[in-house]
Structure 1
Amino acid sequence: MNKHKLFMIVFIVFMLMLSGCTNDKNEEVDNVEAQQKQVQENNSIQTIDEDPRLYDFDKKSSIVTFYITISDENDTSFYELNNWYSIHNSDTKSPKLDITIQEGTEEGIEEGLFGFDETDVNASIELRGKSSSIAAQKSFKIKLYDSTGLWRGQKTLNLNKHPYDATRVRNKLSFDYFTLIPNLTSMRTQFVHLYVKDLTDKNANGEFVDYGLYTHIEQGNERFLASHGLDSNGNLYKAAFFEFYRYPDQLKLESDPLFNKDEFETILESKGSNDHRKLIDMLDDVNNYSLNINDVVEQHFDRENYLTWIATNILMGNRDIMTQNFYLYSPSNSEKWYFLPWDYDGAWRSSSTLEEHEEPPEWQNGISNYWGSVLHQRFFKDPQNVDDLTKKIEELSKIINPENTKKLLDEYYPVVSKIVKRSPDKDYLDIESSDYEDVYYEIVQESEVNKEIYYKSLERPMPFFLDYHIEGNQNVFSWGASYDIQGDDIFYTLQISTDPAFTNIVHEKKELIKTTYTLNQLEKGTYYWRVIANDTKGNTQMAFDQLDEDGTIYFGVQKFSVN
């Protein structure tokens, strides 16, 4: 019995108990079951199969209360840890502090729960995340010591604050959805209310302080593989900055005398087997343009998993996915690679109007968001593969849709809003507390909005990269060729300005066909340039490049100087 049939049996029993067996609730359960069954009938081979009982220990809206005591024996204070990247060089890694972690209720640590009788340190805490490490509210990684045992079968607790998500539920919503979707794994997630007693602070009076709402998500590692019924001896990589190029200087076998683990993990972090031969063989073929990309995908990837992963990203509006925020997994007895999801707190916000967040560049919308990866670009240059992705998006829309999103949000809301709308969390939201409910429920229509964005993206030319160099006295501007999925002719407009907003354009050339342009008529000074691709139907696209000028991001722009 596969994971979705088992899941629905457990889900139906739960809903009957919750609702008192009312007809309305039974109809809702039958409706969700029918939606999943229809998707599964369209996918006769389910490629990744989990036991749904892994996710059935608590309701999706349940909340765990953790009490953390920061030991006064630490050399670094908890204050310094929280402000590490404000105090120290950004290249230095934040330290780990010894802590005691215990589970309880809102009334306090409770007998019989995890660590309730602990009298000594039993774990470490450190900062986690990249951009979130400089946010006002920090996220934490907690590692239980070997002598401590496990919490719900897990040794590492990732407590995410999601400081740039005013709803604080987008990641949880995504991974709860993944438990329902064929051909993908999910990860166990849990709302957490955190209290901290900081013994490194002599003015704290030895009292627990409310740190608000967090979301725990399971760590991707060998233990994760084993608990999800996958091969713990297989390969598991977390993408750090990975565009599926070969990266010969970084990605080497461990037997290679020039192998450097730190350099390897600037591209991919190894979380499973350290035998990298299968990875390198796959990348050799992906980057071999003499091979048909469909044959390469057939040999090295599970096609259903691949299409499902991209389709869910599109429906959820998860844009930060081109080079990071996913895992690659391959069982030890197979050549196939599988995409596994990771980090969705930036998803579900295409139509957000009340939150303060930067509008994405045009190329991050829909299919063009994948064009910077050699694998995705080659694969989707085949129109049949685009058609198959469209079919997959429509299939998954029977699960990922406004009706089901509303049900999950309604389940979370009483628990989440109670904590988020009070200090400390309300003090750091980028919205007013009175707007919280409106922002929260804006998510409901997101999957439909993102599907519409996808269809529009099919009409636009694809993005490309810019390149500028000097040959003798000439300024040479070149760029990658754009691509049009409909096969429309593409022309280019090149613009040069003295400012990054292009309010003072000093040179412009339209309807270029070639992807190189030479100019020797510029005076000394600093300039900015961009190229806009246009198809014959009036659709446009910018370059992948972006420029940070005094804290303002300009998309599709490069800067250069003439001396």
Structure 2
Amino acid sequence: MMVTRKPYRWMLVAAAMAAVGCSPQSPGNTTAIQPSTSQVEQMQEPVGGLRENKQVYSQDEDGSIVHLYVTVVNEENPELKATTFSEINRSLNGMDANGHDLKAKIIFQEGTAEGPQVGYFGYGESRTNGTIEARGESSRSSQQKSFKIRLLDKAGYWREQRNINLNKHRPDITRVRQKLSFDYFEQMPNMTSLRTQFVHVMVKDLTSHDPNPKFVDYGLYTQIEQPNKTMLQAHGLDRNGNLYKAINFEFHRDEAKIKLANDPTYDKKAFESVMEIKGSENHEKLISMLDDLKNHSIPIKEVLDKHFDRENYFTWLAANILMGNADTAAHNFYLYSPSDSDQWYFLPWDYDLSWGFFEQEAKRSPLVTLGKWEFGISNYWVSDLHSRVFKDPENVKELNEKIEELSAFITTEKTNALLQSYYTNVSQYVKRQPDLYNLPQEVDKFDYEYSIIPGEPARNKVRYYEGQEFPMPFYMDEPKDEKGKLVFTWDHSYDLQGDDLTYDFAISYDPGFTKIYTQVKGLAGTNYAVDKMAKGRYFWRVIVRDSKGHEQTSFDRVELDNTRYHGVKEFIVK
């Protein structure tokens, strides 16, 4: 059955590590690391599959800082509605009353630490050459916002880009997790990356009431390339192909929303609530793939070989697992298919909350508790694609092999080398205003959190194999009143080793299950009925166990009184 699922993104807790080799500055280590010129060597180039033009990254200097200058102007332009910069910064969602993004007119320039300079982009420009708006989802309500700059056609391209994403990555005190990930992706075969750059942003607001405005320091951002037709072309891919950004996409054949563009009932807005369209609007290949995936009479091997590139698929999954990016089961990825192919490729997106971020959050916040399933294959069991794929033991074996291959590439030593190349420039901005007073933690935690990053892939690899021993998570349904009984049902779990499974069912007056109403253990089926209950608020849960004693909860959870309870569902008897 199709269930509407809430976002879930939390990883297993890990102990902090002592960095190997030349480590970043950390408590007890007072020597700040120096920039390194070491580069991550490229893995062996694939014979076929997804072949990106890696030369697009050749001029990037991974640890450098670029200085960007943004002048917000009042210039009259009938094509652009006037918005002040303060309106954008004050807004909780970056939108006006009609739900449209607030955009201010700007002059966009590049320069040095001293200001815009001759020979750099936009020097001498006195007229609007772009717009600025808030970007992101939860970050729009942040005191320090992320921004998107859109250059006008007449402005040309900055580094072959017109859409310039400026990400503050405020929850990440290190400010490097995003860039580290994409610097690794640059070197992986069967995978694209995105150009990234640390940038220092200065803003002069001519729409303010200040009669003598000056450039104001907005601190450190990471500029990340926008996946779109321009990006595809720059990377040697097909700009006329299909490109979708997953919003809430579990590879479910949602016929009410996913339709052909020429269907009289086609609703683009509804379609894009599942997947945003960034390329061709011909959805025939997407629908064909989803139809075949839904048809369980077609072996999953045939579906995978026909509609996906195996090397790309397993590389993307293994990289997510080793980097600790759990937030990729239903969104935070792109699907790309060139116009002359029937196959789909996964492209990476959004890694700022990876590399141990949620493990550290779990230590600081009682709300950020971690479910057993939130790592490895079980994390992806919400997806119709991934759950079908890994019911085949041969595919589990293939992912294991890819985990081993990538873990020999994403090493502590290489990660340390990249982190060293970032450290001096990043730390100087993090440890001063304006970023200093807006950090998610005390600044003295910066070096510690920086130091735990290199060991994350090795820890994630251990947890990946441990997780295969547990049954897969599942969803619980809403209880139904049937013939005077209250009937509770849930989905079947699955065990990768084929072990027998039983279910423990319980109802409680509280989400912590300290006051049990009723419970029964060892159920073989996926339903249980109880007599009509008195009016009130209750909580129920189901725990699945295999024959070896390994247990798993459902995907469901309850958040109450600043605490998260995994595998629990609330219901009201009226």
**TM-score of the alignment, normalized to the shorter chain, above 0.5:** yes
Structure 2 match to 1:113? 120
Structure 1 match to 2:32? none
Distance in structure 2 (CA, Å) of the matches to 1:91 and 1:359: 37
Q: Is 2:553 aligned against 1:542?
A: yes
In 1, are the aligned partners of 2:244 and 2:336 still within 8 Å (CA)?
yes
Structure 2 match to 1:231? 238
What SS does structure 1 have at the residue aligned with 2:548? coil
State which drifts further: 553-562 or 79-88: 79-88
In 2, are the aligned partners of 1:67 and 1:101 still within 8 Å (CA)?
yes
Structure 1 match to 2:523? 512
In 2, are the aligned partners of 1:198 and 1:204 still within 8 Å (CA)?
no
* AA aligned opposite 1:59: E
Structure 2 match to 1:423? 433
Q: Is 2:321 aligned against 1:314?
A: yes
Structure 1 match to 2:9? none
Shift of 1:76: 3.1
Q: How does 1:167-246 map to 2 (within 5 A)?
A: 167-203=174-210, 205-246=212-253
Shift of 1:351: 7.9
Q: How does 1:409-488 map to 2 (within 5 A)?
A: 409-468=419-478, 469-488=480-499
- Mark the CA change 1:106 to 1:270 in structure 2 (over 3 Å): closer, same or farther: same
- Mark the CA change 1:427 to 1:204 in structure 2 (over 3 Å): closer, same or farther: farther
* AA aligned opposite 1:417: S
State which drifts further: 143-152 or 202-211: 202-211
What SS does structure 2 have at the residue aligned with 1:85? coil
Shift of 1:521: 4.6
Q: Is 2:383 aligned against 1:381?
A: no
Shift of 1:156: 0.3
* AA aligned opposite 1:314: I
Distance in structure 2 (CA, Å) of the matches to 1:285 and 1:438: 48
Shift of 1:46: 4.1
Structure 2 match to 1:8? none
What SS does structure 2 have at the residue aligned with 1:363? coil
Distance in structure 1 (CA, Å) of the matches to 2:211 and 2:569: 50
* Bigger fraction of residues in helix: 1
Distance in structure 2 (CA, Å) of the matches to 1:420 and 1:93: 32
Q: Deviations over 1:412-464 (max 9, x none)?
A: 00110011111111111122222211111210101001101101110111000
What SS does structure 2 have at the residue aligned with 1:259? coil
Distance in structure 1 (CA, Å) of the matches to 2:333 and 2:279: 14
Distance in structure 1 (CA, Å) of the matches to 2:124 and 2:134: 26
* AA aligned opposite 1:63: I
In 2, are the aligned partners of 1:493 and 1:532 still within 8 Å (CA)?
yes
Shift of 1:78: 1.8
What SS does structure 2 have at the residue aligned with 1:495? strand
Instruction: Tell me the TM-score normalized by structure 1.
Output: 0.90
- Mark the CA change 1:471 to 1:384 in structure 2 (over 3 Å): closer, same or farther: same
Q: Is 2:82 aligned against 1:80?
A: no
RMSD across aligned C-alpha pairs, in angstroms?
Answer: 2.0
- Mark the CA change 1:125 to 1:147 in structure 2 (over 3 Å): closer, same or farther: same
Distance in structure 2 (CA, Å) of the matches to 1:427 and 1:290: 58
Distance in structure 2 (CA, Å) of the matches to 1:299 and 1:438: 46
Q: Is 2:419 aligned against 1:394?
A: no
- Mark the CA change 1:474 to 1:351 in structure 2 (over 3 Å): closer, same or farther: closer
- Mark the CA change 1:205 to 1:453 in structure 2 (over 3 Å): closer, same or farther: farther
Q: How does 1:114-153 map to 2 (within 5 A)?
A: 114-153=121-160
Q: Is 2:269 aligned against 1:259?
A: no
Shift of 1:553: 3.5
* AA aligned opposite 1:538: G
Distance in structure 2 (CA, Å) of the matches to 1:333 and 1:86: 40
Distance in structure 2 (CA, Å) of the matches to 1:90 and 1:486: 54
Shift of 1:548: 3.6
Distance in structure 2 (CA, Å) of the matches to 1:351 and 1:253: 39
Shift of 1:89: 8.6
Distance in structure 2 (CA, Å) of the matches to 1:367 and 1:215: 30
State which drifts further: 51-60 or 172-181: 51-60
- Mark the CA change 1:107 to 1:350 in structure 2 (over 3 Å): closer, same or farther: closer
Structure 2 match to 1:16? none
- Mark the CA change 1:472 to 1:332 in structure 2 (over 3 Å): closer, same or farther: same
The percentage of counterpart residues that share the same residue type is 50
Q: Which has the higher contact order (CA 8 A, sep 6+)?
A: 2
In 2, are the aligned partners of 1:65 and 1:106 still within 8 Å (CA)?
yes
Shift of 1:491: 1.3
- Mark the CA change 1:337 to 1:90 in structure 2 (over 3 Å): closer, same or farther: farther
Q: How does 1:296-311 map to 2 (within 5 A)?
A: 296-311=303-318
Shift of 1:274: 0.8
* AA aligned opposite 1:431: Q
Distance in structure 2 (CA, Å) of the matches to 1:453 and 1:306: 21
- 37, 44, 47: which one aligns with 1:45: 47
In 2, are the aligned partners of 1:70 and 1:78 still within 8 Å (CA)?
yes
Distance in structure 2 (CA, Å) of the matches to 1:515 and 1:53: 54
Q: Deviations over 1:493-523 (max 9, x none)?
A: 1121222232322221111110001111521
Shift of 1:547: 2.8
In 2, are the aligned partners of 1:190 and 1:216 still within 8 Å (CA)?
yes
Distance in structure 1 (CA, Å) of the matches to 2:208 and 2:380: 47
Distance in structure 2 (CA, Å) of the matches to 1:502 and 1:212: 47
What SS does structure 1 have at the residue aligned with 2:102? coil
- Mark the CA change 1:351 to 1:123 in structure 2 (over 3 Å): closer, same or farther: closer
Distance in structure 1 (CA, Å) of the matches to 2:210 and 2:546: 65
* AA aligned opposite 1:98: K
What SS does structure 1 have at the residue aligned with 2:520? strand
What SS does structure 2 have at the residue aligned with 1:210? strand
- 271, 274, 277: which one aligns with 1:270: 277
Distance in structure 2 (CA, Å) of the matches to 1:536 and 1:184: 39
In 2, are the aligned partners of 1:350 and 1:450 still within 8 Å (CA)?
no
- Mark the CA change 1:514 to 1:214 in structure 2 (over 3 Å): closer, same or farther: same
What SS does structure 1 have at the residue aligned with 2:540? strand
Distance in structure 1 (CA, Å) of the matches to 2:360 and 2:343: 41
- Mark the CA change 1:260 to 1:419 in structure 2 (over 3 Å): closer, same or farther: same
Structure 2 match to 1:162? 169
Q: Is 2:298 aligned against 1:291?
A: yes
Shift of 1:556: 1.9
Distance in structure 2 (CA, Å) of the matches to 1:168 and 1:519: 52
Distance in structure 2 (CA, Å) of the matches to 1:199 and 1:473: 69
Q: Deviations over 1:23-67 (max 9, x none)?
A: xx99x77xx65x834xx5xxx634222232210213111111111
State which drifts further: 81-90 or 521-530: 81-90
Q: Is 2:501 aligned against 1:529?
A: no
In 2, are the aligned partners of 1:235 and 1:329 still within 8 Å (CA)?
yes
* Residue ranges of structure 2 left out of the alignment (5+ in a row): 1-35, 76-80
* AA aligned opposite 2:56: L
What SS does structure 2 have at the residue aligned with 1:165? coil
State which drifts further: 357-366 or 96-105: 357-366
In 2, are the aligned partners of 1:467 and 1:477 still within 8 Å (CA)?
yes
- Mark the CA change 1:99 to 1:423 in structure 2 (over 3 Å): closer, same or farther: same
Instruction: Tell me the TM-score normalized by structure 2.
Output: 0.89
In 2, are the aligned partners of 1:351 and 1:442 still within 8 Å (CA)?
no
* AA aligned opposite 1:224: M
Shift of 1:535: 1.3
* AA aligned opposite 1:69: T
* AA aligned opposite 1:124: T
In 2, are the aligned partners of 1:491 and 1:513 still within 8 Å (CA)?
yes
In 1, are the aligned partners of 2:378 and 2:473 still within 8 Å (CA)?
yes
In 2, are the aligned partners of 1:36 and 1:398 still within 8 Å (CA)?
no
Shift of 1:550: 5.5
- Mark the CA change 1:88 to 1:109 in structure 2 (over 3 Å): closer, same or farther: closer
Distance in structure 2 (CA, Å) of the matches to 1:374 and 1:216: 33
Distance in structure 1 (CA, Å) of the matches to 2:94 and 2:181: 35
What SS does structure 2 have at the residue aligned with 1:327? strand
